[in-house]
Homo-oligomer: A and B are copies of this chain.
């Protein structure tokens, strides 16, 4: 198979996948998880049901692929914020605030369907997030010449869990207060 042909096929596959996952994202935002069906996704993405079934066997695999893409994008977004704010003394706060806002803004807050929180891609992303935040906690303590209250990995896990309560906050404005409450305890 000539290289150009492969690239065209690959490019086409990627375009279909992107359109399908964009359709899932739009449907989740509009109607919640229960509004996602194979027929609706196909219609929204402008592909036939037969084509859609070639890419994804069922709604569960669609939601898992959409969730995986979303988690990857979120991680990349947080890393971007980390790079932009490095050395400002506000890096940790900025990244944690962005993370807490993602949780506050996500559809269904912290009540998303359990199926989405399984799977090795999420475990992997979670470990990646933990390591990333542990690094920021270390760098922040060094910058401020402060002593950490615990092992940085334990502190990263504490931060992630503590900020998951952003999902039940009564207002978006309370998110930065939650971040302040969370980071205040990191140093002794």
Contact = CB atoms under 8 A, between A and B. Distances in A.
Contact of A170 (B151, B160, B169): B151
A173 B64 CA distance: 38
Interface in A122-171: 149-151, 154-155, 157-158, 160-165, 168-170
A84 to B, nearest CB: 25
A155 B181 contact: yes
Q: How many copies of this chain does the complex contain?
A: 2
In the complex, the 6 A-B pairs of residues with the closest C-beta atoms, listed nearest first? A184-B185, A181-B185, A162-B162, A161-B165, A157-B165, A158-B165
A160 B151 CA distance: 20
A94 interface: no
A130 to B, nearest CB: 9
- By size class, the interface of chain A is 20 to 34
Interface centre among A114, A178, A186 (most CB of B within 10 A): A178
A37 interface: no
A165 B154 contact: yes
A81 to B, nearest CB: 22
A174 interface: yes
A9 interface: no
Nearest to A181: B185
Contacts of A85: none
A184 B155 CA distance: 13
A26 interface: no
